[in-house]
Amino acid sequence: MKSHINIQIELAEDKMPEAIQWTAPDGGVADWQNAKAILLGLWDGEEKSALRIDLWTSKMLVDEMNDFYYQTFYGMADTYLRATKNAELANELKEFAKSFLKKATAAIEAEKA
């Protein structure tokens, strides 16, 4: 059995993402969904290296990017805990995520002042 996650990127003339859409029919998401950003990480077991695709549209605001990264770090901690059962390091990653969001929010507030 195979399952598909579909991602399509619409590019502007300068080759920057203008729109990101995705579906996951086997996961219950049959219709195209819009997204402002995507972080896709893949592990190449043979090369022992991480491969990444990081894309965002011009519509992605800085405060949204900060929230996106906070939620990504926090979610990575949960995934790491499930995969390794290492609660201590998972909690450290969650604390980092909280610190990151606090500092990122403060930076935005400082720019507004």
CA dist., res. 67 & res. 49, Å (int): 27
The whole-model pTM stands at 0.89
Answer yes or no: are the C-beta atoms of 4 and 26 closer than 8 Å: yes
pLDDT digits (tens, 9 = 90+) for 61-85: 999 999 999 999 999 999 999 999 9
Angle at 43 between CA 16 and CA 35, to 5 degrees: 35
pLDDT digits (tens, 9 = 90+) for 17-29: 999 999 999 999 9
Task: Determine whether 105 is exposed, middle or buried from the number of CB atoms within 10 Å of its CB (0-12, 13-18, 19+).
Answer: middle
